[in-house]
Amino acid sequence: MNDIDLPEGEMPEPASMADPDDGLAGTVLPGPPHPVNWNLLTAEEAGPEWAELDHWVAWLRRTYGLPAGVIPPFWHRHPELVWELSALHLHWLCAYDPEQNGSAPLGWHRDFADARQRLRDWVAACGTRLDRDRATRQTAWPGEEPAAPVEDVVIADRADDFRQFVAADVAWRQAAEDAFYASLGDDDAERDT
């Protein structure tokens, strides 16, 4: 039986799945569902978006009994999986919105079947496994530098890896924002001289 006092096989909705020990609790996003463009998130937006998606993915894999060949533990390290799962999450949020048409959940399940096959394809291509991960191999096109070799990395604690990944992602975004705003100041200084 799970930690929540429910009959076997019943799972709570994703919003109630927040893990208070993950450092990201309380980050469920307010407002209506919205597409997430992972390329454009600010440092401030990224942490809550990662937490929201992670909680939903945990709910999804448990509710549907999905194996690591469909949703691997280290999905967050692979953009192709992040984009697919993010789109599926948005579709789920919209399908189960109280103001949605009653047949919307059936449409979500139909699309979920297609998404599961795509997820299997992405997982097979990227090579992530239950207890280890490696970067998705990239093919160098003519004229490009050859891609660096990729090695498997054993990861013992998925939750800790996720926290570190999100912290690094937020820090990278913050550094990019800081550099951008600093460059605006450089332009002002050049105009003043």
Per residue of the chain (193 residues), give pLDDT as tens: 344 444 444 445 555 444 444 444 444 555 778 899 999 999 999 999 999 999 999 999 999 999 999 999 999 999 999 999 999 999 999 999 999 889 999 999 999 999 999 999 999 999 899 999 999 988 999 999 998 888 999 999 999 999 999 999 999 999 999 999 999 976 655 555 5
- The torsion of the CA quartet 78, 83, 118, 90, rounded to 10 degrees, works out to 140
Closest C-alpha among 36, 140, 162, 161 to residue 88: 36
Kind plus residue range of the DSSP H or E element containing 85: helix 79-95
Dihedral (CA of 123, 66, 83, 151) sign:
negative
Residue 193: what pLDDT?
Answer: 55
Residue 26: what pLDDT?
Answer: 41
